[in-house]
Amino acid sequence: MEELLAIIKQQAAVNQQLTNELALLREQVAYLTQKLYGKSSEKVVYQPGQLSLFEEEPLLEEDADLPR
């Protein structure tokens, strides 16, 4: 009977250890998912004269009077 109690205590300790490890791994997954898909703090700095692929460039005064 004492052997069974010792095994139960050992299994309970292993179960607690696995529960702690699972919680840690879930926290890591949440953190890494946030880093991968979360908001980025990168700031876009446009250099003078650099063309943009996503925004229309303002028309120059001499091109503004030409028909499209």
The pLDDT tens digits for 14-49 are 999 999 999 999 999 999 999 999 887 666 677 777
| DSSP, residue by residue, 1-66 | -HHHHHHHHHHHHHHHHHHHHHHHHHHHHHHHHHHHHS-------PPTT---SSSPPPPPHHHHTS
pLDDT reading at 6 higher than 90: yes
CA distance linking residue 58 with residue 56, whole number of Å: 6
pLDDT for the residue 63: 55
Q: Which residues make Cβ contacts (< 8 Å) with residue 51, sequence separation at least 6?
A: 57
pLDDT for the residue 59: 55
Could you tell me the residue ranges of all domains in the chain? Answer: 1-34
Q: Which residues make Cβ contacts (< 8 Å) with residue 57, sequence separation at least 6?
A: 51
pLDDT for the residue 38: 86
The whole-model pTM stands at 0.53
